[in-house]
Amino acid sequence: MVNQTVAALEYLAENERKERSKVMFPTSMKVLGVKAINIKKVVNECWADLKNEAPENLLHFAKELVKTKVLECNQVAFLLLWKSKSAMRLIGLKDIEELAQNIDNWVTVDTLSVLISGWAWRENQISDADVLVWLNSENRWWRRTAVVSTVALNLRSRGGTGDAKRTLLICEKVVNERDDMIVKALSWALRELSKSDKPAVEKFMEMYDSQLAGRVRREVYSKLQTGRKNG
Q: Mind listing the pLDDT tens digit for each residue in 36-93?
A: 999 999 999 999 999 999 999 999 999 999 999 999 999 999 999 999 999 999 999 9
Locate CATH 1.25.10.90 in the chain.
104-231
* Buried residues in 137-155 as b, exposed as e (16+ CB within 10 A): eeebbbbbbbbbbbbbbbb
Long-range contacts of 198-203 (CB under 8 A, 24+ apart): 198/224, 200/164, 200/168
Taking the model in full, what pTM does it have?
Answer: 0.95
Question: Over pLDDT 90: what percentage of the chain?
Answer: 95
Q: What's residue 229's pLDDT?
A: 81
Taking the domain 104-231, which CATH number applies? 1.25.10.90
Distance from C-alpha of 171 to C-alpha of 220, rounded to nearest angstrom: 13
Q: What's residue 158's pLDDT?
A: 87
Q: What's residue 231's pLDDT?
A: 61
Query: Low-confidence residues of the chain, pLDDT below 50?
Result: none
